[in-house]
Amino acid sequence: MNGKYTPPDPSLWSGRNSGQQEYLHEKVQLAEALGEETFQSDARSFALLGYACDEGVRRNGGRVGAAEGPDAIRKELGKMASHLSPKDEVIDLGNVCCIGGDVEETQKMLSELVAKIIHQGGFPVLLGGGHDISLAHYRGLRSTLPPSQSLGIINFDAHFDLRTHENGNHSGSPFYQIAEDCRKIDQPFQYLCLGIRREANPPELFRRARELGVEYLELKDFTLNRLEGVKKSLRGFLDTLDRVYVTVDMDGFSSAFSPGVSAASPMGFTPEIVLLCLKEILTSGKVMGLDVAETNPKYDRDQQTAKLAAGIIHYIMHEKSLL
């Protein structure tokens, strides 16, 4: 794959041994890229694929280091207990890497692999890496759907990420670029952003969000004491969709929970409300793929951010296995 793909590293998967696949490092399988029969036809297959790229963060003026995020998440995920069914597969497909700062080519490769995962019956669980992962993930998912089916986006984030991209793709532009894609193919741009911080988004981005018809909840409204209103917004959004793509930006959490990100702030949401929302979203049966973005081990504290990202993935896989 022209030097931009690295196969899975078995040394990242270690932990307590049960001998009975009671920990995820014992259950995970490693597969280089995607063969013709990577996933079992009668299994629920969770496909882990890393986006080892932080060039988009650098272009957006953020702190680099998120290229190391995928492997840091794997290390924490492997230590966690597995309550998955014997028929559930967890397959590590390795990383797509950014070589020579070529974000666009890296995104293209990731999109192609996401499409292959879907065509072969897997469920993409992507590990970032900068939030420019979203443009690639969305394009890969969209390419597998007929024009008649809608694909919406739910983003847990402090930022709209609706900046323009005249000087190249970056971590602040993915959803603006998706809006452009939707316009070109005459598809509605359906985007819900949860946790927007007013001090982290200039008026220009609020205007753009309104112009593009973006639905959003500001941080003050994305709290546990307003949970029923949050769930109502989620249900209303999900009711308009055929399928949905979910992305969790780790910098949306308060730095009390998630210090290792490119743009940390003590102002942010809590893990609990995100997990409650994820349960609501999964219950719809419309989730097509999920990723976590912006984990930056360079600035992490006791691997707290990597552990939180791994915990979100653990939660998603186990809740989905119950459906």
Contact 195, 158 (CB under 8 A): yes
Relative orientation angle of helices 271-283 and 304-321, to the nearest 10 degrees: 20
157 carries a ligand binding annotation: yes
Q: Is 161 annotated as a binding residue?
A: yes
Give the span between the Cα atoms of 176 and 181, in whole angstroms: 9
Q: Has 102 been labeled as part of a binding site?
A: no
Q: H or E stretch including 309? A: helix 304-321
Instruction: Please state, in angstroms and as integers, the Cα–Cα distance from residue 279 to each residue in 20, 109, 246, 316, following that order.
Output: 28, 30, 12, 8
Candidates 123, 119, 63, 68; CA nearest to 93 is 123
- The annotation status of 88 as a binding-site residue, yes or no, is no
The residues, ordered by sequence, that sit 6+ positions from 321 with a Cβ below 8 Å of its Cβ are 44, 84, 85, 88
Residue 293's alpha-carbon distances to 70, 75, 169, 187, 321, in angstroms, are 9, 16, 16, 25, 23
Q: What are phi and psi of 293, to 5 degrees?
A: -125, 155
Known binding-site residue numbers for Mn(2+): 131, 157, 159, 161, 249, 251
Known binding-site residue numbers: 131, 157, 159, 161, 249, 251
